[in-house]
Amino acid sequence: MSDPSILVRPSTPDDLPAIQAIYAHHVTHGFGSFEEVPPDVQEMAARRLAIVERGLPHLVAEADGRVLGYAYAGPYRPRPAYRYTVENSVYVAPEAVRHGVGRALLTALIEICEAGPWRQMIAVIGDRGNTASIALHAALGFHEAGHLKAVGFKLGRWVDVVIMQRALGAGDDVDPD
């Protein structure tokens, strides 16, 4: 159960400095992103806009007026046949890890995507050792769909990727409209 003091809402341009700081931490200290140089606020604004303009959710979690994390659903791949599949991304401020922020964000993201036309959600989790993210996704209905060994090299070591998948709504039981 998520902390009731955590508010999940659509992100706004005013949230971008906090979003950029959270992402920069993950870029420079972890394997949740395979980027090695943190993008600046303007680049993060362009990325957010690309998501929002597609009608996809871009969310923040806040408590006491402070952004503690963000999440979004983006296109899984650009080819038209993938149009009913989204990929999720969830990033939590280091001081807010293990306080329900990731769960609140991913739960809201799933609910929003299930209300839309999407039928599958993919998680591409950097680092086999990221047990917290793997466990969070599993707790919210994802199953492991694949494991790519040593596909990234970051911070002086080879990094695996775990691919997890979850059906949204009717999944593949019913053809899309």
Rounded CA-CA distance 113/158 in Å is 33
Q: What was the pLDDT predicted at 110? A: 98
pTM for this model (two decimals):
0.95
3-state class (DSSP) for residue 62? strand
Q: How far is CA 175 from the centre of its chain?
A: 26
Query: What pLDDT score does 18 carry?
Result: 98
- Give, for 70, the enclosing helix (H) or strand (E): strand 66-75
What pLDDT does 111 receive? 98
Q: For each successive 10 residues of the chain (177 residues), what is the average pLDDT? A: 81 98 97 96 98 98 96 97 98 95 98 97 95 96 97 97 97 91
pLDDT of residue 1: 43
Would you state the pLDDT for residue 177?
A: 81
Type of residue numbered 141: G
Domains and CATH numbers, the chain: 7-123 (3.40.630.30)
Distance (Å, rounded) from C-alpha 60 to C-alpha 57? Answer: 10
